[in-house]
Structure 1
């Protein structure tokens, strides 16, 4: 059969890039992109550091290395043609001790094998010529590394989709799929405009400041699939049983107790049938919601591609596919220093990646606006789509707590587990760590920046998946995980996704 109807679920950078690729290959097909948010790049794609990865860390010859190379070949000309903000500024990884220096030399060997142009090691006395304020024992410089506005890139790709006749259906939550032999039926519902208060709203301070990232709109409902909605009352006990003898846990135990009680109280308030009152739609609390929220058929399509990011595992389950790999969300907090104080840094300065601490990487980035971005400060998220500084989502916390893979990962990386046990990590301690590289940074000028949530795919054995993984059933293709630097490789990944989705279908 010919391809005339294509649906893409997810309006992040990968979903929109895949939709654009489909319009280019099948110009006569009707392409529709669904997302429960009200604009493109509402989540991961709109909350990044902006670093365009040059491919320093990829294993030579790997699929990820090839995707990065192909991605840059497509990305840079596209941004130049469309006017997407982009600046080549160079990246300098800095080793602070001999262990880090050894790892840096290994990364340099990979960079050479990957053909990264201009990459070179810098001895201590050579570092100042690139970044005068930086301190370290060894540096790895990649002169053509860059920064870009990935939100603007997603918007430009969406414009291409519309120009080719494609359409976007925002405010539409996809909840299920019926995969048949030659087509896929999509089910979903409109996102209510006036949802009742959620756990994160209940957690807001008495002064009325909910700590919300100003650039984030009110988030729509999270799709929870068929997962249990029971409160995670035993979360503190679970942590205590597993890590009670660890020093880091003892320091965080009082905080865990407070959050356990807060979660339990919040759940009780939301689901007590005797509480009285009514929802904003007029239906009584504890009773059924209005019928307008019931699922409906959104359409039947020849091809459906799902790039759902933070909801990938839940939508896979809704389609009858294997729940593994699971998504474990990690919050990435960034901090800012105003443009008036940026002379101390010229480009991108980063720590040396440590395989034993996969979320400990940090950078100082001179942004497109000449301000400095510091981060990320990464810890286990209290919600897959929660950007409130004091917010949480009960179902998302429960999903993480019930994940066997997460606990195995936490046992292997105690530092990450420690940070995840605390809802907030000290900004002062984080900035002090950053200043090891640039002592001249003034900590008094640091202010909160954006907050992102990273969708980390994880196996049941606790292994992180940092590669492009897809599951296909008939005409339904699910993207289950993507490489760490997926935004850089978005156009190349889109080619691969469409190759997989359309193989043996079109003629």
Structure 2
């Protein structure tokens, strides 16, 4: 008779249970990878909203990031290059809309050319395929309306319907026997007899292992679980415009700037959308609510949480010019259009229609520095994902693999 034996991971006994908090793409992907690595374990996903993937997972630009920007050897670089291949394969298998449309990163003047060459070197070191250096004339052959003295073409990048990805993951998880509970916001966490007792809006759950994928609320869940992370989630809202349909032909690919290393954010760019049209943005301003997609959205608790964190004040003192310019651009379509004109000079203020917005769960240290890479923290019987910035949507399946490895879990084997 053939049986299966568990890995040596003491936090997941044979026929044990695991609860994942948060049903965004990272939480759903982690549930899938954990269920496949340990099919004897009962896996439950708890989500506070009425539907999965209601926040960062579907309030983003929809880009499939290949790993051009990230330092070779970093977790971001490794998970991005693995993640885009897993994600595109998943989309093909599940019939989820996606398109490998390619991206150009544009140096608008000679001062940006050395940084652009560094990006090309990084992308090559990270294993990206088909990278190509473009002169200004070659750039205009494939992106006629873009202005630049040079560019890097990234043919592997594209766009995906991440709502479709999330819904497909729910279907696959059901087939794997994973229980995804919506409307089940976590209200209490307590260690009992070597396991967890979890109080939610939809009743109580028990688990041997807790995995915190709570995104915008991950630091709070970690503290609720007895961990003491020094970092804090500071919510930054990114606001977008869309090009009017008759002007969408100004952009053929994804068109991005060369990042300025003196600023912590990427800068505005042009993104083709999976449903058609072109999105422009985002800026980055402090959100007064962790899920505050509109300027008028305010949570006194969330706002106090941010304003009493000394790291935020140190961040603003470090970047006063950027902080003010981002705020001004939030209230001025003219300034927003001017920033877009650096990449595509023909864009006019009248070409911009209001678009959507997203809120980025940015982990910030007490010294005001932004946590740039993925951050996983272990505590007794738990693992906390305390920073999952872009490219987390692209890399979510690879992140699920990484979490399983972090937990010391290996696949079952016959004995």
Pairwise same-fold verdict (TM > 0.5): yes
Partner of 1:452: 358
Query: 1:296-323: per-residue Cα shift (whole Å, max 9, x none)?
Result: x621112211101111111111112113
More strand by share: 2
**Alignment partner for residue 58 of structure 2, among 46, 60, 80?**
46
Partner of 2:258: 352
Partner of 2:8: none
TM-score, length-scaled by structure 2: 0.91
Q: Does 1:110 align with 2:110?
A: no
Partner of 1:246: none
* CA shift for structure 1 position 419: 4.9
Partner of 2:144: 132
CA distance in 2, matches of 1:92, 1:426: 27
* CA shift for structure 1 position 481: 1.0
TM-score, length-scaled by structure 1: 0.75
Gaps of 5+ in 1: 191-296
Q: Are the structure 2 counterparts of residues 504 and 349 from structure 1 closer, same or farther at C-alpha, using a change threshold of 3 Å?
A: closer
**Alignment partner for residue 61 of structure 1, among 73, 81, 100?**
73
Partner of 1:121: 133
Q: Does 1:167 align with 2:195?
A: no
CA distance in 1, matches of 2:16, 2:223: 27
Partner of 1:307: 213
> What number of residue pairs does the alignment pair up?
401
Partner of 2:194: 182
CA distance in 1, matches of 2:316, 2:294: 24
SS in 1 for 2:271: strand
Partner of 1:492: 398
Contact kept, 8 Å, 2:65 with 2:80, in 1: the verdict is yes
Contact kept, 8 Å, 1:379 with 1:419, in 2: the verdict is no
**Alignment partner for residue 378 of structure 1, among 247, 259, 284?**
284
CA distance in 2, matches of 1:329, 1:64: 20
Contact kept, 8 Å, 1:349 with 1:363, in 2: the verdict is yes
SS in 2 for 1:487: helix
Partner of 1:272: none
* CA shift for structure 1 position 188: 2.7
Q: Are the structure 2 counterparts of residues 55 and 423 from structure 1 closer, same or farther at C-alpha, using a change threshold of 3 Å?
A: closer
**Alignment partner for residue 374 of structure 2, among 463, 468, 481?**
468
Compute the RMSD of aligned alpha carbons.
2.1
Contact kept, 8 Å, 1:466 with 1:484, in 2: the verdict is no
Contact kept, 8 Å, 1:104 with 1:352, in 2: the verdict is yes
1:79-90 aligned at under 5 Å gives the runs: 79-90=91-102
* CA shift for structure 1 position 91: 0.6
With a CA cutoff of 8 Å and minimum separation of 6, indicate the structure with the bigger relative contact order. Answer: 2
CA distance in 2, matches of 1:481, 1:174: 19
Partner of 2:28: 16
Partner of 1:142: 154
CA distance in 2, matches of 1:489, 1:181: 35
